[in-house]
A and B are shown apart, each in its own frame.
Chain A
Amino acid sequence: MAEQLQPLSGEIRPELTGVCFHCGDDCRGNGIDHDDRQFCCSGCLSVYRLLSRNRLTTYYSLESCPGKRPLSEDASRRFGWLDDSATVGRLLDVSLDGHCRVTLSIPHVHCSSCVWLLEKLFQMNDGIKSSQLDLLRKELVVTFDNRRIPLRGVVELLVKIGYEPHIDLASLDKPVRKTSFKSLYMKIGLAGFAFGNIMLFSFPEYLASHGLTETLFGRVFGYFNLFLSIPVLLYSARDFFISSWNGLRNKSINIDLPIALGLLALFGRSAVEVTFGLGAGYFDSFSGLVFFLLLGRLFQAKTYHALSFDRDYRSYLPVGVVRRTATGEEVVPADSLVSGDKVIIRNQELIPVDGILIEGEGCVDYSFLTGESAPQTIQHGERVMAGGRQTGGAVVIMATKEVSSSYLARLWRADCFHQPRESRVVAAANIAAKYFTIAVLAIAVAPVLFWWRVNPSMILNAVTAVLMVACPCALAMASPYVFGTAMRFLGRNGCYLRSAGTVEQLAQTTHVIFDKTGTLTYADSGESATAKSAMSHYHRSLVISLARQSVHPVSRSICRMFGNAKSIPVTQFEEIPGKGTQGKVDGHLVRIGSYEWASRNGAVAGNADNRPDGSVVWLAIDDDVLEAIPVNKGLRAGLGDVVRSLGRMFKLTLLSGDDDASRQEMSRVFGSNHQLFFRQSPQEKLDYVKNLQRGKTRVVMVGDGLNDAGALRQADVGITIVEDTASFTPSSDAIIAATSFEKFPAIMNFTQRSMRVLYLCFAISLAYNIVGLGFAVAGLLTPLVAAVLMPLSSVSVVSVAVLATRYQAVREGLA
C-alpha cells in the first residue's frame, strides 16, 4: 500500500501500456498519447487534463486506472432542468443562502481513488466547501455556496470527471434516510456497560459461601446493580416490551412475549430481593440477556446499503425531459409535464409519459414493461406508453396524460403493492414461541399447586423462577445468528436479501416461476454476442452500418459487438423475416443472416462449417462469406444445469411476456414436466401466482422487469436478477447478481440446510430450558445457577448456529 501511495513519477508502469491510463480500457492501435501516457478517447484525456491542471493526479497513483470514460453526450443539455429552482429545492438537504448541502448517489464509486478525488472537489471549484463520500452507500454529500456555484455546476463538474450522479424522479421526493443503527448501537453499548459492571459487583457473591447480602458490601453492591439495571430495563430492553405488547394487541403471541415476561420477572424479583435485603438478585443474568439478545439483532440487521429493494416506477424514469416550446426547446422536470406538452425523445431515451407520436418514426422497445423482446414500430398518430425506450432517430410525442397517471404508474397501483408484507409469513421462531409460551405458563402454574400445600411463601419464588429460566433467550438468538450467517454467505455469492427472514421463506419454497426476457436470457446489456472477430475495421463498419438499420435482435447484438465502428450510409436496404438482411454500403453488397442467405450469390465460406441450428449468423460482403458469428440466443450461461437441478427440487413454470417464438428452445431447456406460458400480461402473471398460493404452494418468482413487478410482489419471495446493481430493479425480497445465476440451485439448497441448523439450535435451547425448569420448579434456582446457565446456553446456541451454518455453506460450495 505504501508503495502505491508514492507520488506519481514521470515514468509509466510497464503493466499499463496498451490500456487507457484513465479508465483501463484496451486502447492498442487507436489510443491518444499525452504526457507519455495513453488514453482510449478524448473523454478520458480531458478528465486527465482537468485533474492534472488542478494537481490532482494522485488519483491515478492510489489505484491503477480508476476512472470511467465520461459520457460524450453534452452534459449541459441533459442537466438543464437543474436550473429550475423549485426542482433544485427538492433535491437539496439544506438550502440556506450561501450554504447548501446535497446528497448525490454516484453508481461508479468503487475504490479508494474515488474517495480521494471526490473529497478534493473543493480544489477544483472555490464554490464547493467540502464533500464527503460514503463508499458503501455510494453517496456523496457536498456542501457548496450556491452564490458561487449552482447545483447544476456541481453536477456538471462531477459528470466532467466521470462520476455522473444518478438522479431520478424518486430522489426528488426526498426519501427517508436509510435506516441507521444509531439507537441499536446505543442500546447495546448501555446493556454491555451494565452487564460488565454488574458482573464485577456480583463476583463476590458468586464466591461467598453464605451470601454477602447481610454485610454492608452486599447491600451496597445490590443497590449499585439495581441502579445500573434501570436504564437497561427502560431503554435497552424497550423494544422487547413494545413488540410483545403490539403482538398481544393483535391477539398474537410472538417470541418477544416470553422474553418480556422473563425480563420482567428477573428484574422485578431482583429489585424486591435487593430492596428488602432478601438476596443478591439476578441483575447479572438480566443485563447479560438483554446484551446478547441485542447483539443478535445487530448481527441479523445486515443491510446492503448500495442496493435498493423498494424502488418504484419513478426511479425508472428520467428527471429531465426536453419539451418543445413555441420558441425552441427547454429541459423541464418530467413530473411537471401536462397533457398537451410536446416532448422530444432521442435515441435510447425513455418515454416518460403516455402520449401520441406526432413526429418521426417510433421504434419502441417495451421489453422492460412487457417482456417482449422485439421493438415495436410506432407510426405517426399512434399511442406510445411511458416506460418504453426509443431506438433509432429522435421522435416528438404529445403527452396525453401526466406522468403520475400513465400506464407505468397504473402498473404500480395494483392491490398487491399495498399489502403489508410481513403479515403473510409467520416465522418459525414465532410459531415455536406460541407453543413455548403456553407451555411455560402451564408449567408456572404447577409449582403454585405444589407449594400451596407445602409452603405457600415459596409460591412467588417458584413462579418467578419458572418465568426467569424459561425466558427463551437461546431460542430467540438461534434465528438471528443462523439467518444472519446465512445472509452473509449468500451476500458473498451475489445473492442479496432484503432481510434475514427471507432465508426462511426461501427454504419453504415448493414452486419456482421464471420470467424469460432478461431473467433466463441476458438483458439488453451487450453480452449476447461475444465472439472475437478477426474482421478489419473497415469490414466492421460495413457490417454495423447495415445492422444498425435493422431492429432484429441479432442485428442489435451485432451492433453492440462492433459498437465502436463508424457508421456509413446504407442504400437498397432490405430485410426478409426468417432469412436475413442486406444492403449496399459504400458500394459493397453486405448480407447478414442464415448461411443460405449469405451465400446466395454463390459466395463460399472459407470454412464451410455450416451449422444448421441457427446458433450462428453469417456475414457476407460482396461475394465472400466472411465469418460466422456465434449468436448466443442470449440464454444465460449454465441455464440448462440450473433448470435441471431446480427441477429435481421444485415445480417450475415459465411465464413470459414474449410471444412464443422461443417456445421450442425453452421447452428443450425445461423438458416436458414443466409448464411454459407465453404472451402473459403483468396482470396474468400476478393472477397465476395468486392461484398457486390458494393451495399450499410457496411460490418464488424470479424476474427482472416491470412486467414482473406485480408477480414479484405477490409471490412469497420475489427475486430480481440484475446485471448491474445500480440499475433499476422492481421492488423485491432478494436481488441476485446475474453473474451468480448459476449458483441459484446451491442457494436454494443452502437455505433449506440452514433451516435444519435452526431446528437443531431450537432443540439445544429447549434442552437448556428444561434443565433450568427442573431447578426452578424445585426452588433451587440460585443466582449462581442462573448466572452459569444463561451464558452457557446462549454461547453454545450462538456458536452452533454460526459454525453449523458455515459448514453448510462450505458443503454447498458457497463459502
Chain B
Amino acid sequence: MQVMFVLIGASLLVAIIFVVAFIWSVRRGQYDDLHTPSVRMLFDDHSGQEKIDTNHMKES
C-alpha cells in the first residue's frame, strides 16, 4: 500500500504542472482576446507573419 504515496505524489505533480501551464498562458495574454483567434484560425494561408510578442506589451 505504501506505493500509494508515490502515486499520489505523482498525480499532484501532474496537476501542478497544469496549473503552472494555465498561469503561464494567462500571463502570456492568451485569455485577453477570446474571440478573434476563433475567426483567424479559419483562414487558409499563413504566410509566416511574425506574431506580436505580448510580453513586450507589459513593459510599456
Where the two chains meet, the residues of A that have a C-beta atom closer than 8 Å to any C-beta of B are: 1, 5, 58, 62, 93-94, 101, 112, 115-116, 119-120, 122-123, 129-130, 132-137, 141, 143, 180-182, 185-186, 189-190, 193, 196-197, 201, 217, 220, 224
List the A side residues contacting B26 at CB < 8 Å: 182, 185-186, 189
Find the residue from B5, B29, B49 having the highest chain A CB count within 10 A: B49
Contact A112 B42 (CB under 8 A): yes
List the A side residues contacting B45 at CB < 8 Å: 58
Contact B51 A130 (CB under 8 A): yes
Tell me the bound Cα distance from A180 to B32 in angstroms.
7
Given A181-B31, A197-B15, A122 and B49 touching (CB < 8 A)?
yes
List the A side residues contacting B35 at CB < 8 Å: 134-136
List the A side residues contacting B36 at CB < 8 Å: 115, 133-136
- Chain B: minimal CB distance from A201 (Å): 8
List the A side residues contacting B8 at CB < 8 Å: 201, 220, 224
Tell me the bound Cα distance from A492 to B45 in angstroms.
34
The residue from A1, A136, A185, A193 contacting B33, defined by CB atoms under 8 A apart = A136
- Chain A: minimal CB distance from B53 (Å): 9
Tell me the bound Cα distance from A224 to B39 in angstroms.
42
- Nearest 7 A/B pairs, CB to CB: A135-B36, A112-B39, A193-B19, A189-B22, A134-B33, A130-B50, A132-B52
Contact B49 A119 (CB under 8 A): yes
Which A residue's beta carbon lies closest to that of B5? A220
List the A side residues contacting B57 at CB < 8 Å: 93
Tell me the bound Cα distance from A217 to B35 in angstroms.
46
Which B residue's beta carbon lies closest to that of A181? B31
Given A112-B42, A115-B40, A130-B50, A190 and B32 touching (CB < 8 A)?
no
Contact A224 B19 (CB under 8 A): no
Contact A130 B52 (CB under 8 A): yes
Contact A182 B15 (CB under 8 A): no
Contact A193 B56 (CB under 8 A): no
Tell me the bound Cα distance from A193 to B15 in angstroms.
8
Tell me the bound Cα distance from A220 to B39 in angstroms.
48
List the A side residues contacting B4 at CB < 8 Å: 217
Contact A116 B52 (CB under 8 A): no
Contact A5 B49 (CB under 8 A): no
Interface string of B22-60 (1 = CB under 8 A from A): 110011010111011001101111010111100011011
Contact A141 B5 (CB under 8 A): no
List the B side residues contacting A143 at CB < 8 Å: 52
Tell me the bound Cα distance from A120 to B40 in angstroms.
12
List the B side residues contacting A94 at CB < 8 Å: 56, 59-60
17 A-B pairs, CB-CB below 8 angstroms? Answer: A58-B43, A58-B45, A62-B43, A94-B56, A101-B60, A115-B39, A115-B40, A119-B49, A123-B47, A134-B32, A181-B31, A182-B32, A185-B26, A189-B19, A193-B19, A196-B15, A220-B5
Tell me the bound Cα distance from A220 to B8 in angstroms.
10
- Chain A: minimal CB distance from B30 (Å): 10
Interface check B10, CB cutoff 8 A: no
List the A side residues contacting B42 at CB < 8 Å: 1, 5, 112
Tell me the bound Cα distance from A217 to B7 in angstroms.
13
- Chain B: minimal CB distance from A128 (Å): 10
